[in-house]
Structure 1
Amino acid sequence: MEFAEIILENRPSPFWNILKQIGVDKAVGVLPRSYKDWRQQLEENPWDYGPLMRYKNMLEDNGLKLVAIEDNPPMDGIRYGIQDLKEEQLEYVSHMLENMGKLGIKLWSYSWMAGFGWSRTHTHIKGDNGEFVSGFNIKDIENAPPPKLGKISADKLWNNLKDFLEYILPIIEKYDIKIAMHPDDPPIEEYRGVARIMNSIENYDRYLNLVKSENIGITFCQGNFALMIDDIPGAIRHFNKRIFFVHFRDVKGNKYNFVETLIGKGKTDLVEVIKAYIDINFNGILRVDHTPTLEGDIEFYPGYSYLGRVYSIGYIKGLYEALKHG
């Protein structure tokens, strides 16, 4: 198991030094949209070789090895299957993957949420001890319109996903890049008229069999899987080596109405979760995710604060070391 942390800043920060001080020296990156060299901003996209290379070098010059990209170029033309837009965006994704391969970045976390990404309808709920947490209530979106590209059915999403995987398969196998599908967040049946398909164990099994490759796997976001099923350890053992990347977080509630929680305060038995990762000899990347904002904390945006992430990293590392050697 490799502990890493997502880097959202576009330049070195004191948080990077804190990560190294607590034993985390690997980084999960986003595409460097705000890190463009002004001389090249008209010539290169964030997923092109130059920006990715400079971003990787900036992290590694400051002691953090870039091991994954958790971000993507525009992809809704691909998800919706809009022909002209799809062809352009497939080029974006293929260039990104090729450049990742050339730079030795071997993991891409992506999603199949069309029209909208992950969503919360509440960003600053007061938790039990005064910390701020985020949450979702489906009643808040009952009257919300569909996205600009409109509605789309589950069948079309499945067909477009299969086409996409077939298109990128030669690239990811050539460069030995693992791609890890993030769940729909929240994992409801549809969101504002748009179908969701990455929202159950059965659908993940279907996904893993669409196009057969050991390079196609899962971002096991525990918060989302906890809203799909009650047995998280069982799901970990079920997917086993197809779990490439873990988001370690927890929630209270159900997929229609939930809040995120401090590690150890949610609905999941985290001792049994760690035991399951040890049982399958998980050797992928794990990071904390969507942590509460504590008093006096520096919040990058809701769910990504400094103290909350440091607390969670310490909690998980302590639990893992105790159970691994206990």
Structure 2
Amino acid sequence: MKMVFRWFGENNDTVTFQQMKHIPGVEGIAWALHDELPGAEWPMEKILEIKEQAEQAGLHIHVVESVNIHEDIKLGLPSRDKYIENYKRTIAKLAQAGVKVICYNFMPIFDWLRTDLYKEASDGSTALFYEKSKVNGLDPFELVKQINQNSDFTMPGWEPERLQHLTALFEAYKDVTVEDLWDNAKYFLDEIIPFAAEHDVQMAIHPDDPPWPIFGLPRIITSQDHIRKYLQLHDSPYNGLTLCSGSLGANPDNDIIGMIHEFADRIPFTHIRNVRVFDNGDFIETSHRTQDGTVDIKGIVQAFHENDFEGYCRPDHGRHIWDEQCRPGYGLYDRALGIMYLWGLWDAYRQVTTIEGKKVQQ
């Protein structure tokens, strides 16, 4: 298991490379050019600038998170071919710079969604929170009206540039079915995966967060069956999965440990984090410790160990603790604690003893 740390760039992140290096076992960053819009070809000079900065700090740039997919590709519009070509050129440049894995998602309009970025827990820490009834009661077009009437309005998890185009985007997706999205995903994969294989870059789809439809928009990476179907759309080791325990864990019906055992050879990258799911469907993100949430983090790390996982791993969203002022979910302290918890589990599972010439797991 190779540990990396998410980084949003010098102007968008409070965590420095030096601080990352203080965390035992962190060897690289999971990064992106966050100022490049979806569909744009990434400039080589910007890629090499990040590479130089990271390597000077003793960190690698093997994992990119994410190269976002333009909405025209998800919608299946004729213009998608132009954006797919840009995507290919970006892959080629990233491969030249030494990138091994590209994490991405296929969620329409927005990536993740929460209703509160700073929900207070009983211990006084705060964390990202999802209130299911609040989302279920929102009409997307009424939401757009609120946004247009209030320039300060924000939605947790929605990039400002996307808020400007919400009306047109929701209109565009009005008649798009789940089957349409599957067809458009296959078109993308059939174009991208052979190209990625030529450049020895593994593509790793991230599950939908949360893993169910929202605002009537189709979502397709929500369960073990859906992941299996997606990986079979283009059956190649370069069509892989970013196994995110927090995204998938928001639905307690998801058997994440079973997914690891089934898809082990198709998981080049994993996000490990915990959530506590309530009976009404709400959930809050917790510490990484197993008993603090409803996701079996111990079992997840054990499953990766049993499958000799050699891919990249990062702690995912952390709580806001010790008065840290940071990007919501992406502070230093709780994610550093999470890494040490993951390493503790990993090292415990690595302990073996020899009994009568046989290695036995302790």
Structure 1 residue aligned with 2:154: none
Amino acid at match of 2:241: I
Q: Is 1:240 the counterpart of 2:264 in the alignment?
A: yes
Q: Is 1:263 the counterpart of 2:288 in the alignment?
A: yes
Structure 2 residue aligned with 1:37: none
Q: Is 1:184 the counterpart of 2:208 in the alignment?
A: yes
Structure 1 residue aligned with 2:160: none
Structure 2 residue aligned with 1:66: 61
In 1, the alpha carbon distance for the partners of 2:133 and 2:45 equals 45
Q: Is 1:210 the counterpart of 2:212 in the alignment?
A: no
Q: For the Cα contact (< 8 Å) 2:276–2:286, is it kept in 1?
A: yes
Q: Is 1:167 the counterpart of 2:162 in the alignment?
A: no
Q: Is 1:4 the counterpart of 2:14 in the alignment?
A: no
Q: Pick from 99, 102, 109 the counterpart of residue 115 of structure 1.
A: 109
SS in 1 for 2:250: helix
Query: Which string of whole-angstrom CA distances, capped at 9 and with x for unpartnered residues, describes residues 116-146 of structure 1?
Result: 1111111110112111111112322322316
Percent of residue pairs bearing the same amino acid type: 27
Greater alpha carbon shift after TM alignment, 195-204 vs 249-258 = 249-258
Amino acid at match of 1:246: T
TM-score, structure 1 as length reference: 0.90
SS in 2 for 1:83: coil
Instruction: Kindly report which structure 2 residues correspond to 1:247-258, keeping only aligned pairs within 5 A, or say none.
Output: 247-253=271-277, 256-258=281-283
Instruction: Kindly report which structure 2 residues correspond to 1:9-88, keeping only aligned pairs within 5 A, or say none.
Output: 9-10=9-10, 15-23=16-24, 24-31=26-33, 33=35, 47-84=42-79, 86-88=80-82
- In structure 2, the CA distance between the partners of 1:14 and 1:8, relative to structure 1 (3 Å rule), is closer
SS in 1 for 2:313: strand
- In structure 2, the CA distance between the partners of 1:78 and 1:218, relative to structure 1 (3 Å rule), is same
In 2, the alpha carbon distance for the partners of 1:9 and 1:70 equals 12
Q: For the Cα contact (< 8 Å) 1:48–1:95, is it kept in 2?
A: no
- In structure 2, the CA distance between the partners of 1:309 and 1:162, relative to structure 1 (3 Å rule), is same
Q: Is 1:316 the counterpart of 2:318 in the alignment?
A: no
Q: Is 1:222 the counterpart of 2:216 in the alignment?
A: no
Amino acid at match of 1:257: D
Q: Is 1:307 the counterpart of 2:333 in the alignment?
A: yes
- In structure 2, the CA distance between the partners of 1:64 and 1:46, relative to structure 1 (3 Å rule), is farther
Q: Is 1:193 the counterpart of 2:216 in the alignment?
A: yes
Query: Which string of whole-angstrom CA distances, capped at 9 and with x for unpartnered residues, describes residues 133-167 of structure 1?
Result: 11112322322316432222111100000000011
Aligned residues: 313
- Shift, 1:168, TM fit: 0.9
Structure 1 residue ranges without an equivalent (≥5): 35-44
Greater alpha carbon shift after TM alignment, 47-56 vs 226-235 = 226-235
Q: Pick from 197, 207, 231 the counterpart of residue 255 of structure 2.
A: 231
Structure 2 residue aligned with 1:135: 129
Amino acid at match of 1:122: D
In 2, the alpha carbon distance for the partners of 1:14 and 1:274 equals 25
Q: For the Cα contact (< 8 Å) 2:8–2:34, is it kept in 1?
A: no
Amino acid at match of 1:119: L
- Shift, 1:9, TM fit: 2.8
- Shift, 1:3, TM fit: 0.6
Query: Which string of whole-angstrom CA distances, capped at 9 and with x for unpartnered residues, describes residues 54-104 of structure 1?
Result: 1111111121111111012451110111212x1332122111111111111
Q: For the Cα contact (< 8 Å) 2:249–2:295, is it kept in 1?
A: yes
Q: Please say which structure displays the higher CA radius of gyration.
A: 2
SS in 2 for 1:298: coil
Greater alpha carbon shift after TM alignment, 128-137 vs 282-291 = 128-137
In 2, the alpha carbon distance for the partners of 1:13 and 1:193 equals 35
In 2, the alpha carbon distance for the partners of 1:279 and 1:262 equals 24
Query: Which string of whole-angstrom CA distances, capped at 9 and with x for unpartnered residues, describes residues 183-231 of structure 1?
Result: 000001x211211111111011100111111111100000122234353
- In structure 2, the CA distance between the partners of 1:55 and 1:32, relative to structure 1 (3 Å rule), is farther
Q: For the Cα contact (< 8 Å) 2:95–2:200, is it kept in 1?
A: yes
Instruction: Kindly report which structure 2 residues correspond to 1:276-287, keeping only aligned pairs within 5 A, or say none.
Output: 276-287=303-314
- In structure 2, the CA distance between the partners of 1:223 and 1:13, relative to structure 1 (3 Å rule), is closer
